[in-house]
Amino acid sequence: MKKDSLGIVHTQYFTFAEPPNQLQLKSGRSIGPITLAYETYGNLNEQKSNAILLCHALSGDAHAAGIYQDDKTPGWWDDMIGPGKALDTDLYFVICANVIGGCKGSTGPSSINPETGKPYALDFPLITIADMVEAQRYLIDSFSIEKLFCVIGGSMGGMQALQWASAYPDRLISAIPIATALKHSPQQIAFNEVIRQSIMADPAWHKGYYYEQGQPENGLAVARMIGHITFMSDQSMEEKFSRKLRKENLSFQFTDDFEVEGYLRYRGYNFVKRFDANSYLYITKALDYFDLSGDLFIPDVKKTNIRFLVISFKSDWLYPPHQSQEIVRLLKRKHAYTTYFDLISTYGHDAFLIEIDDETRLIKNFLTNLQQH
């Protein structure tokens, strides 16, 4: 089944929260103006009833599908978005925005602070998943979309979908949280802390004020390497690398003898070119602060009419299936319409970006049936 690509797409920008109407953040601080970089695919119908908000993960951005004129790298979920695909752009209007705190066109620590004329760096306030969602709400309002047809995302994107369901239950018809959790576990926080420490331990970090001299490249590369280990599974690493050597023989030196080492270094140092170290700190912190467990998700007195499709992957040990099952448990207690799949995959947490066939079948059918109801 060959499906069409979206072709050339463009990033757009939306600015709001101009002083004095700055955005009040969960931390108590406020910030403004805020710019969100976003992309849209497909057309918003007249009733404005076919909008799907797609939320990206930790290192994702607004470029979810299609290609740019001068860069042929397709968006991060290109296989899922387009005519005839899971998020069918013949039917739906898909919106994807870079999160606040990010570094791909949305306001974040690397953006210029209008008060000083310099990058915010660590003057940027800490942000939460709820703040990200609040910023997205302004964007959705700017389209005059009353009710989203669906909010969907994997990993941190899934948290945003859950946050939307919790904060604005009347503004979405369905939510598809994938490979995600209601709260970060100590293990997840621990990984993120090691990730942050590796950035902050790099002398080039300069306590966050590095923008004139350049990034803490080594620290950020190591941080990303740790991340990549957690995205894969024991089995997928065995299949991809086994103990294969990069050269014919062991070097008996501290070089990257094994393919897995070469892969991590390549991924790590490639990441440095496209991601801001401070953004990585801010966003991992937002992940760690996330907690919608217990009554926080859907308050006791409330009933939800949102239809949920919860998806986990059996080999995902970073966001293991039991965390998705915890979401399902709460939804069962609320008698919410819930479909839950624990998909077979060997790819670990990466599966949500890779297991396109199963996800397509599931999400497409789920959305199609929602339309008919």
Partner 1 sequence: MKPDHHIIANFVHEGAHVLDLGCGNGELLSLLRQQKNALVQGIELDEDQMHTCVEKGLTVLQGDIESGLVDYPDKSFDFVILNQIMQEIKKADFVIQESLRVGKRVLVGFPNFAHIRARLTLFFSGKTPMNKALPYYWFETPNIRFLTINDFIDYCSKKNIIIEQKFFLGKSKLINFLPNLLALNALFVITKI
The catalytic residue positions are: 155, 316, 349
Q: Does 142 bind partner 1 (CB under 8 A)?
A: no
Cβ nearer to partner 1, comparing 80 with 286: 80
Each residue 290-309 as x (binds partner 1 by CB under 8 A) or -, in order, gives -----------------x--
Q: Does 369 bind partner 1 (CB under 8 A)?
A: yes
Cβ nearer to partner 1, comparing 251 with 365: 365
Each residue 256-295 as x (binds partner 1 by CB under 8 A) or -, in order, gives ----------------------------------------
Cα angle 17, 22, 23 (rounded to 5 degrees) comes to: 85
Minimal distance, residue 338 CB to partner 1, in Å: 6
Write out the binding residues for partner 1, residues 187-206 only, by CB under 8 A: none
Minimal distance, residue 369 CB to partner 1, in Å: 3
Q: Does 84 bind partner 1 (CB under 8 A)?
A: no
Q: Does 341 bind partner 1 (CB under 8 A)?
A: yes
Site size for partner 1, by CB under 8 A?
23
Cα distances from 200 to residues 89, 197, 205, 206, 214, in angstroms, run: 42, 5, 6, 8, 14
Q: Does 373 bind partner 1 (CB under 8 A)?
A: yes
* DSSP calls for 247-276: SSS--SSSS--BHHHHHHHHHHHHHHHH--
Cα distances from 345 to residues 235, 264, 318, 341, in angstroms, run: 10, 22, 14, 12
Nearest of 115, 161, 193, 126 to residue 292 by alpha carbon: 161
Minimal distance, residue 313 CB to partner 1, in Å: 12
The answer to whether 59 touches 195, Cβ cutoff 8 Å, is: no
Cβ nearer to partner 1, comparing 30 with 325: 325
Among 23, 103, 176, 343, the residue binding partner 1 under the rule CB under 8 A is: 343
The answer to whether 288 touches 144, Cβ cutoff 8 Å, is: no
Q: How far is CA 99 from the centre of its chain?
A: 8
Cα distances from 44 to residues 16, 67, 168, 330, in angstroms, run: 21, 21, 21, 33
Q: Does 183 bind partner 1 (CB under 8 A)?
A: no
* DSSP calls for 166-211: HH-GGGBSEEEEES--SB--HHHHHHHHHHHHHHHTSGGGGGG--T
Contacts of 260 (CB under 8 A, 6+ apart): 237, 240, 241
Cα distances from 29 to residues 24, 129, 290, in angstroms, run: 6, 15, 18
Minimal distance, residue 260 CB to partner 1, in Å: 30
Write out the binding residues for partner 1, residues 310-339 only, by CB under 8 A: 325, 328-329, 332-333, 335, 337-339
Minimal distance, residue 365 CB to partner 1, in Å: 5
Write out the binding residues for partner 1, residues 106-135 only, by CB under 8 A: none
Q: Does 361 bind partner 1 (CB under 8 A)?
A: yes
Cβ nearer to partner 1, comparing 62 with 351: 351
Among 3, 30, 340, 354, the residue binding partner 1 under the rule CB under 8 A is: 340
Cα distances from 58 to residues 12, 212, 263, 279, in angstroms, run: 20, 25, 20, 9
Please report, as ranges, the residues that interact with partner 1 according to CB under 8 A.
307, 325, 328-329, 332-333, 335, 337-344, 361-362, 365-366, 368-369, 372-373
